[in-house]
Structure 1
Amino acid sequence: MKKRIFSGIRPTGPLHIGNYLGAIKNWLQLQNEYDSVFCIVDLHALTTPNASKGLKKKVFDLATTYLAAGLNPKKCILFVQSQVPEHTELTWLLNTVTPIAELERMTQFKDKAKEHRSNVNMGLFDYPVLMAADILIYQTDLVPVGEDQRQHVEMARTIARKFNQTYGATFKVPEVLIREQGAKILALDNPLKKMSKSSPNLYSRINLTDSPDEIQEKIKRAITDSGKEITYNPQKPALANLITIYSAFSKLSASQIEKKYQGKGYAQFKTDLANVIIKALKPFQAKKKALEQEPEQVKKILEQSAKQAQAIARKNLKEAKQKMGLI
């Protein structure tokens, strides 16, 4: 029997190449190797101020992105979180075994609480428990996430152990699955920060739906380090980030890229990098455009997957409730 994986992305805006290289590209391989459950986590999106504005459109956009990128409903379950209410019911049950002190230590909560001090909601505080429910309700073995989400998976592990200690063996304790290549693509305007959907600077990221002109302009504006040689050096994070992107889309190694641009400057390298990205995204963009013309087909895929997900979730929720003495 294949091991099960669970992962998801919040529908908070267009995905960028960092999302693709860090998550979705891995999922395309994982769906062939594991019993795969992928989720559009719209309930998590609601913890962001004003997230409900245009949420349906964002969910549809993310679904077409997943499918155009190559996720296959015949190989994986692809559904919308809010269409499986068992997630929120299990969240409440898990809340009863989750220490407040553990939640107060969560780095993302502390960071976002500082950023939105006047608008901190309970959903943001309880976010890790809902994420634990997302994972545990499918008896997940492995969770493919970026390094920034490791702490949340560790919390899910803690909650699973606490529940099992309190009520008897019920949930699998999931493991983190992190793959190095492309796991962290950095912002084009600040290589000390991760590329982000929420950055106010549109030139900090390349969206998967950007036009060739937009891609060329963004790469042209991307900051570089001092010096002229095209060499991969972690001490020069801006150039290292661009080489990482080039390598991921071209399948050339960093050393091959260095050799190719020996004696050439940043201008030629950036022009070629933009063209590599444009060429790589062209098939995806064509598929996405076609799917956007078939909303009923996309809706049907999500509904069928939600039924599959709910069948698994209902069974595991029932067991948890029985262990807790609920009718």
Structure 2
Amino acid sequence: MTRISGITPSGHAQLGNYLGAIRRWAADGADGDLYFVSDLHAMTTAYHPQRLRSLARETLAILVAAGIPQDRVFVQSDLIREIGALTWVLECTCTYGEASRMTQFKEKSRSKGVQGVRVGLFTYPVLMAADILLQGATEVPVGADQAQHVELARALARRFNTTYGDVFAVPEAVTPPAAARVRDLAKPTRKMSKSTRDSAGVVALLDDPDVVRRKIRRAVTDEDGVANLLEILAACTGKSTDELASAYAGNEALKEAVTEAVVEQLRPMREGALALLADPASLDQVQAAGADMARRRGEHRLAAALRMAGAS
């Protein structure tokens, strides 16, 4: 069994990313599992190249500092030649109907109009399939919004294997363990997101502790806001929200408890990530080793796919 998961550097990684996925990857990952910074995925909408490059490095440092073994992480764009080649083969395996049925593209093209949506967003699910199939992943932990993309990867793997020869493992989408549902502190009706323009309610993983304290102390405390604070505290302490709800008499006491729990939860990871970012040579070595590992793992599949498809 090989699992693969990625995180897109569309913004600064935030508390929801950590409590919901990153720390679980560090705690539960097994030999052979892979975790990658999916920076190519961030190019499907408008972006600034220098900022994207900086965010990719920052996210890589966070994954390593969170405790994910260095031999399981890589940056997607370091394999752009391999992934790009396989994406083309898979695009020539995929039908227009399959690609046009992808829900995310339909929703965004409906809101922006087809003329305002990039072709990369249309073909992005095939790129995601290439990420999965290149590394021989058999399981892909995804939420409901990405399950359709894994189904496309399954369909393309089966079609290629049947048409040209058996090259790819057929992956399965698996539901990750239930995680904290972290909402925006300033607007708890929406989930905390690294791509939110207004960062007042978003706790970035590398925020200074004083900034974290200020954001939590200013958190909305209506019914949704209090539920969100309890959810965050439960995720940090391992206690139930019901138990915690009865432990604090007022909102200020609850905010103080959440503040200290979050600061302490993030402290080791934050210190480690900042140390890596302050030592570019060491981070370069981590990135280069990760790229070499991922390239070696996928090179024989790519070579076989190209040969069988008549491209080499």
Same fold judged by TM-score > 0.5? yes
Cα separation, 1, equivalents of 2:169 and 2:2: 11
Kindly provide the amino acid, as one letter, of the partner of residue 86 in structure 2: L
| Partner of residue 231, structure 1 | none
1:116 Cα deviation from its structure 2 partner? 4.5
SS in 1 for 2:135: coil
Cα distance 1:51–1:125, how it changes in 2: closer, same or farther (>3 A)?
Answer: farther
Deviations 1:63-93 (CA, angstroms, capped at 9, x unpaired): 11111111121xx321121211211100000
Amino acid in structure 2 at the alignment position of 1:123: G
| Alignment pair present for 1:56 and 2:53 | yes
* CA distance in structure 2 between the partners assigned to 1:12 and 1:251 by the alignment: 29
Structure 1 residue ranges without an equivalent (≥5):
227-236
3-state SS of paired residue (1:4): coil
- Over 3 Å counting, the alpha-carbon distance change for 1:164 and 1:240 in structure 2 is farther
1:273 to 238, 258, 267: 258
Q: Distance in 2 between matches of 1:188 and 1:107?
A: 28
Query: In structure 1, how many angstroms separate the alpha carbons of the residues matched to 2:144 and 2:259?
Result: 27
The Cα of 1:55 is off from its aligned counterpart by 2.4
1:108 pairs with 2:104: yes
Amino acid at match of 1:35: G
Q: Which residue of 2 aligns with 1:67?
A: 64
1:71-86 aligned within 5 A:
71-73=68-70, 76-84=71-79, 85-86=81-82
127-136 or 8-17, larger mean C-alpha shift: 8-17
After TM superposition, give the deviation of residue 114 of structure 1 in Å.
4.3
> Partners in 2 of 1:106 and 1:187 — Cα distance?
27
Equivalent in 83, 87, 90 of residue 87 of structure 1: 83
Secondary structure, in 3 states, of the residue corresponding to 2:44?
coil
Structure 1 distance, partners of 2:182, 2:31, is 25
User: Are the equivalent residues in 1 in contact too, given 2:180–2:235 (CA < 8 A)?
Assistant: no
Report how far residue 273 of structure 1 moved.
Answer: 0.7
* Percent of pairs with identical residues: 37
Tell me which residue corresponds to 1:99: 95
Aligned to 1:157: 154
Alignment TM-score, normalising by the size of structure 1:
0.88
Q: Which runs of 5+ in 2 are unaligned?
A: none
How high is the TM-score relative to the length of structure 2? 0.92
Deviations 1:115-134 (A, max 9, x none): 55454111111100000000
Match of 2:233 in 1: 246
CA deviation string 1:119-170 (max 9, x = no partner): 4111111100000000011110111233332222222222222222322432
For the aligned residue pairs, the C-alpha RMSD in angstroms reads: 2.0
CA distance in 2: counterparts of 1:241 and 1:180, whole angstroms: 19
Query: Retained in 1: the 8 A contact 2:229–2:254?
Result: no
Pick which of 214-223 and 83-92 moved more: 214-223
Match of 1:233 in 2: none
SS at match of 1:38: strand
* More helix as a share of residues: 2
The partner residue of 1:167 within 147, 155, 164 is 164
1:190–1:243 CA distance, 2 compared to 1 (3 A): same
Q: Which residue of 2 aligns with 1:314?
A: 299
Q: Which amino acid aligns with 1:78?
A: V
Question: What SS does structure 2 have at the residue aligned with 1:46?
Answer: helix
